[in-house]
Structure 1
């Protein structure tokens, strides 16, 4: 399987430019189409929370202001998209005839962002997210794409990144989530010039699981080295990022939310740490 459709949820923020740059780089490498998605809030969903004492005119003014705000944000997304696609030499196409590849499409869809993103993620090969307004990459829309829609996601760092996947590190812990991330990353791994399997634990770490993954990847024509990392009591997420960055990695592949989201939120976890601190592209699957 190759990467042919890349969904990129955008909100009209300045940081969208960096996310687009990373997504365009990936689309160019794979000859893929980027679908830039703007989820337009439905202002009528807020009406039940306004209370009975609000006049009809006030309600109409609020609805109109919300529509105008969404129009402005959508226009910013389209402007950014036109500029970025033009610089990359990608045509912007509409729905209908078979599009040239690589290319770009723009969708403006009304609805709750999480639901819109999840719906459009289901038939996408990869969903690319940047930092959200909360500082956590992708916000709840990333969780919707990865967990509700079951699709792999890529966290784009704050700085536009190209190329993505020349040197790949795999965080391997034998979990189902990590295995799904590996299979989702096969198109990147087959193109990579260097692949490293990172197994993080204590000084008695068993090398066999990493070797088993290396044998599997060899069947796909991927040569991978196994690197055992002694965490020395430090948090696994911190050690993982530090090791990947020092190795010059430009794509980290890992499972997401091996523990429940609630547990990760309460006690912290690898996924939450990576989403908050990643400085390199990260491909995750659940």
Structure 2
């Protein structure tokens, strides 16, 4: 499926420009529209937590401060989007005007961020996330896009990446999640200069699944090399990132949350490790 709509949830933070630059690079390569999404907090949702002893004036002052803070964040996003689009030479789409590709658009929606991102992700081809306030790429909104809306996500680490997908590594374990990621990444794979399939496991790793994936990609005109990697006692996520970086890849493709989110959160896992430590763009799907 072609990439025509790229959703970028933003919060008006200083690193928005770098995330937008990476997403705009993808939008330009695929002639897609980038939609910058601001989930505006609803100040009335905080009212039940204020208690009965808070005066009406205090409540009004707090709500006004929240509205002003949201307005300032929206203004910062608009400014970052306009600057990034101008630098990339991509026009801003006018509401109700003729569809232009590539182009950018700003959407301001009031509601809980996870719910807003999940809703708008459903009719998006790719959702791009930068680092969250917690240091984990995308925060809980990423899980909403990938798990609730069932859409592929792209992690954009702290720098502007261009191109994305010139050299691609695939973390392949023959799982349904990895298969979903490969299917979602086909537009990137078909454009890539080189593709490497990384099968990470023990010394007795079966070469069959990697070869099967290489045969499948060949039907799409993608020539891929298969590398069997003995992880030893090291974490799979660590090994994947290390080999992708050594290959000078600018995109790692992998399945996300092969285990439950609760298990990943409590004891760690490949998805959590990559989200916390990725230094190159990563495309994930569930």
Report the TM-score, using the length of structure 2 for normalisation.
Answer: 0.99
Q: 1:216-227 maps to which residues of 2 (within 5 A)?
A: 216-227=216-227
In structure 2, the partner of 1:238 is 238
Alpha-carbon RMSD across the aligned residues, in angstroms, is: 0.6
Separation in 1 of the partners of 2:196 and 2:94?
A: 40
Task: Tell me the equivalent position of 1:72.
Answer: 72
* 2:15 match: 15
CA distance in 1, matches of 2:245, 2:169: 10
Question: 2:128 & 2:95 partners in 1: Cα distance?
Answer: 21
Q: 1:79, 1:167 → 2: CA distance?
A: 32
Residue in 1 aligned with 2:92? Answer: 92
Deviates most, 49-58 or 97-106 = 97-106
1:278 corresponding residue in structure 2: 278
2-structure distance, mates of 1:138, 1:100: 28
- Deviation at 1:95? 2.5
**SS of alignment partner, residue 107 of structure 1:** strand
After TM superposition, give the deviation of residue 164 of structure 1 in Å: 0.3
Within the alignment, does 1:149 sit opposite 2:149 as a pair?
Answer: yes
| Alignment partner of 1:61 is 2:61 | yes
Query: Post-superposition shift, 1:96?
Result: 1.7
Separation in 2 of the partners of 1:283 and 1:185? 7
Q: Could you say which residue in structure 2 is the equivalent of 1:26?
A: 26
TM-score normalized by the length of structure 1 = 0.99
Q: CA deviation at 1:97?
A: 3.0
The residue number in structure 2 matching 1:179 is: 179
In the alignment, does 2:61 pair up with 1:82?
Answer: no
Partner residue, 2:111:
111
Tell me by how many angstroms 1:248 deviates. Answer: 0.6
CA deviation map 1:46-87 (0-9, x unaligned) = 001111110000000000000000000000000111111111
SS of residue paired to 2:132: coil
Question: 1:98: how far off?
Answer: 2.8
Partner of 1:35: 35
The alpha-carbon deviation at position 99 of structure 1 amounts to 1.8
Measure, in 1, the Cα distance between the counterparts of 2:97 and 2:150: 28
Residue number in structure 2 paired with 1:189 = 189
1:16-75 Cα offsets, whole Å, 9 max, x none, are 111001001001100010000011000000001111110000000000000000000000
Q: 3-state SS of the aligned residue for 1:73?
A: helix
Question: Whole-Å Cα distance in 1 between the matches of residues 176 and 103 of structure 2?
Answer: 33
2:247 equivalent to 1:247 = yes
Gaps of 5+ in 1: none
Work out the CA distance in 1 between the residues paired with 2:22 and 2:281: 9
Aligned residue pairs, count: 286
Distance 1:147 1:51 in 2: 35
